[in-house]
Amino acid sequence: DAKTTQPTSMDCAEGRAANLPCNHSTISGNEYVYWYRQIHSQGPQYIIHGLKNNETNEMASLIITEDRKSSTLILPHATLRDTAVYYCIVRVSTNAGKSTFGDGTTLTVKP
């Protein structure tokens, strides 16, 4: 599976959009991009995933570049409750054994 690179930490003002980048330059054609977040020490929570098209759901938007080598998770109106560690994972859905999370980005939303 492709490795991912994320910034260690980011800050965002409450009410503003939070844009979290992820580089996955070695991604292959059948690998999906998944985003999860972990609030405090709770179990990770699924946010969104995509293959090559941009995706949007009630929580966030996922923008994947045309060459698929990077992506951005967008939280349109960040709240204090969005403070968490955000993980970008790239994996082939047919391989359940390749489900390792990296160190993620710690997003701090400030009042």
Total residues at the site for other proteins (CB under 8 A)? 21
Residue window 90-109: x/- pattern of binding to other proteins, with contact defined by CB under 8 A: ---xxxxx-xxxxxx-----
| DSSP 3-state of 80 | helix
Helix (H) or strand (E) holding 108: strand 105-110
C-beta of residue 18 within 8 angstroms of C-beta of residue 107: yes
Kindly report the CA angle at 36 between 30 and 41, in degrees rounded to 5? 145
> Exactly one of 43, 58, 66, 81 binds other proteins (CB under 8 A); which one?
43
By CB under 8 A, residue 29 contacts other proteins = no
**Which residues of this protein are in contact with other proteins, per CB under 8 A?**
34, 36, 41-46, 49, 87, 93-97, 99-104
